[in-house]
Amino acid sequence: MPEGATRGLIIPIGGAEDRTTGETILKRFVRVSGGRHARIAVISAASEASHTGRDYEQLFRSLRAEKVWVLPFENRKQAEDPEELAVLEKATGVFLTGGNQLRLATAIGGTAVARQLRAMNARGVHVAGTSAGAAFLPEHMIAFGEEGGTPRAGSVQLSPGLGLTNQVLVDQHFRQRDRLGRLMTALAYNPFAVGLGLDEDTSAFIGPDGTFEVVGSGALTVVDPAEVEYSSADAAKAGEPVSIVGLRVHVLLRGARYDLGSRKAMVEEAGLEDE
């Protein structure tokens, strides 16, 4: 991080964010990015649909962002284009759309775009991603995996992500697609990170101090492996259930906060704090 700089927010969104009524998550993203002075860069490389970027462009314009650019980083050659990188550099907020996270990773992972996004976030630019874009934000990404509530050996594949943080591992469409088992399996392989299972229309606004706030209409499931005493992940054969002892799980709703450093959840509405 540059000396004296404050890192920008990292904002994973669980997908299917509200675009019609409250627009709470996207409105807040525009507001923290400067409100009417916000300059938003949209990266739609994860999506195969040609209209995805333009849809978000219209949406952010309707939320009164000053400038919105849809940047054509659809392949690795484009992700090295100095002219497009110069446009990206002007942004106060960057939004990565949904689609396929492997498509996104193979298009921009390790390119000048990825390096620039990390540098921009380190000096204060906010970076948000929805669905596939959310999965791609951390250092480690869930590339794909099986649905279900039970952790099973071989049920999840991890790959490198963008690398904005190594503190979390993100899974999206969480309750809607029954993904608790694959997130627990991923954490059995990588027990350093905290697992964030984001329901649709739900996000975490992760601040530079490592504390995040839950925003949106659904739930955020925190899976904390810090106190795991035992895991059979190393011995289980592919497809077999995995035993994990000592996982802590929190289910947080809008307004709740969580400190990734102390591993404490804070529920302000009820005046409660998890000790």
| Positions marked catalytic | 131, 173, 200
Given a contact cutoff of 8 angstroms between Cβ atoms, the answer to whether 190 and 233 are in contact is: no
Orientation of helix 52-62 relative to helix 24-32, angle to 10°: 70
Q: How far apart are CA 219 and CA 217, in angstroms?
A: 7
Name the helix (H) or strand (E) containing 182: helix 180-189
Joined tokens for residue 93: 């907020």
**36-52: string of b/e by CB count within 10 Å (b at 16+)?**
eebbbbbbbbbbeeeeb
User: How are strands ordered across the β-sheet holding 194-198?
Assistant: 168-171, 194-198, 220-224, 248-252
Strands 194-198 and 168-171: parallel
Angle at alpha carbon of residue 267, lines to 263 and 163, rounded to 5°: 40
Given a contact cutoff of 8 angstroms between Cβ atoms, the answer to whether 65 and 94 are in contact is: no
Phi then psi dihedrals of residue 95, to 5 deg: -125, 120
**Nearest to residue 193, comparing CAs of 144, 142, 260, 243?**
260
The number of CA neighbours under 13 Å toward the Cβ of 20 is: 1
Sequence-distant (≥ 6) Cβ neighbours of residue 234 within 8 angstroms: none
